[in-house]
Structures are given as structure tokens and as C-alpha cells.
Amino acid sequence: AVESGFMLREPMEGRYELQITASVPSVPYQVAAQAPDRAGKPATARHAGRTAEPGAVDRYEVVYSQASTPAVTIAEVRDFSRLTILLSSRGDVASELILTDPQGRQTGLDPVGKVEHRKIHRSSYQDEGVLRRSKALEVPQPMDGSYTLQVTGTAPGSYSLDLRAGDRSGAATARPELRDIPTEPGIVHLYRLDYASTAKTPLKLGGRFDGNLMTWVKPSNHK
């Protein structure tokens, strides 16, 4: 058992956000917060949790009010943030996807080496559709920062990208779109995706890189 924590010697009444970052997976833990009530006696609140994958963040709201009963409460903050990438093309799939997060972890399929990556926390990558084939790459609770999306051509044709992102509360969303982008086998397109879980526009499409050439791309529906 390991204990860690901190003390505020003169705590202010109000709401606090507590973040717990996992260092190892699947470890149960208990969070305890203690502060004096109106009579000066210690009031304690506890909440049990379990770590997710290393690097994943659990968020809690701690509320302190001496006049309340109890004076301290702890509640888990639900995280609805999500990043979804849909690649579609008619007939055979014209491209495959690899997404690299700000820490260098990858999810997707390398069509050259036929190597599948699934290193980003909780991420998934799958083939969908029949008449209009599509690849779906999804990352629940993505970390903030710049992502690189690699689209590698596997057949002559064109593809479209539908990028969807939501913030932590699920209220703010963004849906940049790219339509009918020509490709050929072995052609690699790189896109920069900037994600911020607390921004009014959670996802912004930075640009497209073809080798050493960067081409700015204007989405058809970019709020």
C-alpha cells in the first residue's frame, strides 16, 4: 500500500478539481479529503476508484462548505470527451489510417508492413460498411495536444475524412470534413489534428503534409 497527498493549511470554501493519473493499470485506490466543519471538527469524505491504463486521468470534484452537512464531498466527474475519425471510399478501401497521439503512441494499420497498432489508451480501429466501405478509428477521452493522422493509399481512387470530436462535458463538438481526396497505392498523406478537451472548438485541422511539402486544407464544414 502506498499513500500520497497534499495539505492546504488555509483552505478556501468552494469547488476543487482533483486529477489522479494512473502509473500502473488496474489498481484499486481510495481518495479521502478532510477539512474542518463549522464547529472546527474534522469532516472527511471518501471515494473508491480503480486506476485505468497508465497515463489515463480520473477526475473528481471536491466541494468544501463549512455550513453544509457534510462539510466536504467528493464526486467523480464524468468525461464524455471523444475523438472519432471516419475514412470512407466507394468500392475497395482506398486508404488505411494510423493516428499518433502527443506521446508518440499509435493506433491503426500500416498497409505496407501489414502491422496493426493499438497503443493509444482505450482506442479502437475497425472496418465498417459494405457498399460504401469505411475505416473507423475512435479514441475515448483523448489527451490534449497535437495528433498526426497518416493516411496511406492502398488502391487508386479517392477518400473522404469525417472528423468528430467532443469536449469533456459532451456539449461542445467539432466536425471538420474533407471530401474526395485523390490517392494511389503507397501515397502517404499526413494531417495535423489539434485537440483541446476544454475548448469551445475541441478539434482543429492544422494542415496536410505530402513529403516535405505542407498544404493547408480548408475543411468543407469547419466551425
d(CA 156, CA 55): 39
Instruction: Name the CA radius of gyration of the chain, rounded.
Output: 22
pLDDT the model gives residue 209: 61
Give the number of other Cβ atoms within 10 Å of residue 92's Cβ. Answer: 10
The set of cell numbers assigned to 22 is 494512473
The set of cell numbers assigned to 142 is 483523448
pLDDT the model gives residue 208: 65
- Block mean pLDDT (10 aa), the chain, length 223: 86 94 86 94 93 82 95 93 91 84 92 82 81 83 93 89 92 89 90 93 80 43 43
pLDDT the model gives residue 220: 45
pLDDT the model gives residue 22: 84
Is residue 127 within 8 A of residue 133, CB to CB? The reply is yes
Backbone angles phi, psi at 23, to 5 degrees: -105, -25
pLDDT the model gives residue 10: 87
